[in-house]
Amino acid sequence: GQNIDQPTEMTATEGAIVQINCTYQTSGFNGLFWYQQHAGEAPTFLSYNVLDGLEEKGRFSSFLSRSKGYSYLLLKELQMKDSASYLCALMDSNYQLIWGAGTKLIIKP
């Protein structure tokens, strides 16, 4: 079967850096996605990793280690608007997305 774990909630300070971890177990793997979701809104795409390593996009970076079943999303220079839930999603062998429960990130001034 498949399983995805991420912390339920994290708190960080405006201007700081935060790392949100995602661990997974799966029998088939075709990539890992990170999405951002503000309360009551739709998820929006942040990043996609299919090979090991770091993908950087402005203030956001995502890392993947397939051998360890591990990914993280790194957010730099945090802004108040970054307060949201961050969803980790695994693409399985059938190219369907399996979603983690999400990490609620609270940014404090």
CB 92 within 8 A of CB 30: yes
Which one among 1, 27, 40, 81 touches other proteins, defined by CB under 8 A?
40
Q: Is 99 in the site for other proteins (CB under 8 A)?
A: yes
CB of 67 to other proteins, least distance (A): 22
Smallest distance, other proteins to C-beta of residue 15, A: 29
Q: What is the CA radius of gyration of the chain?
A: 13
Q: How far apart are CA 90 and CA 50, in angstroms?
A: 10
Cβ-based nearer residue to other proteins, 87 or 107: 87
Q: How far is CA 95 from CA 4, 54, 74, in A?
A: 16, 22, 25
Q: How far is the CB of 68 from other proteins (least distance, A)?
A: 21
